[in-house]
Chains A and B, each alone.
Chain A
Amino acid sequence: NAGVMQNPRHLVRRRGQEARLRCSPMKGHSHVYWYRQLPEEGLKFMVYLQKENIIDESGMPKERFSAEFPKEGPSILRIQQVVRGDSAAYFCASSGSKGNQPQHFGDGTRLSIL
């Protein structure tokens, strides 16, 4: 399967724990995006990364959230000290580097906070 791979598909955490969400982009894609889907809402942009660089993090909450896309390995979205309001579906997308290429999405990680 050459699509965008996200894991885990479902993640349960207790308040105060850390959540790590992983995303491997499509083969040949160098741009990774993270979006969050809250209940009854559309997807909201969080962050855009290229290898070893955060390009746009204008949608990231100021505290507890961080993202990385290392030279080797998947992109990671990390949420520290999770709270109930972090419960959502988190989607990763990837695209090529040329203009007008669409973003392709993974199946998402459903994060539930107890």
Chain B
Amino acid sequence: AQSVTQLDSHVSVSEGTPVLLRCNYSSSYSPSLFWYVQHPNKGLQLLLKYTSAATLVKGINGFEAEFKKSETSFHLTKPSAHMSDAAEYFCVVSEGQAGTALIFGKGTTLSVSS
């Protein structure tokens, strides 16, 4: 069975400081991993995806994530937070093939202060 644990329900940073959102996964298969972002009253936007190619994945808006199999982690980082980054972030795992359900973490709310 697959599962995702987002270790922090809420993260607060100051504008211009680094962002770290932590995610651990469990999967019986070689997983595909994703980070999605959700702004208030909006749908989910794909930030980045890992599908067994390079372990360091670069996404949109300056975000990146590193797949660490030994630690079963897929943490999301950004060197410098911007006010517009304030949103809900979801770490997601799937088997990777088309037609398989996504398994979502419970989400991390990122707050950015000026």
Contact = CB atoms under 8 A, between A and B. Distances in A.
Contacts, number: 66
A42 B99 contact: no
Given A41-B106, A42-B106, A102-B34, A56 B43 contact: no
Interface string A35-53: 1000011111100101000
A33 B101 contact: yes
Interface stretch (B13-21, B44-52, B65-73, B79-87): B44-52
Interface residues of B, number: 24
A98 B104 contact: no
Nearest to B46: A102
A1 interface: no
B32 A100 contact: yes
Nearest to B104: A42
Given A31-B98, A95-B98, A100-B51, A45 B44 contact: no
Interface of B: 32, 34, 36, 41-46, 49, 51, 90, 96-107
Closest 10 CB pairs of A and B: A42-B104, A45-B101, A107-B43, A105-B43, A105-B44, A43-B104, A42-B106, A100-B51, A99-B97, A106-B43
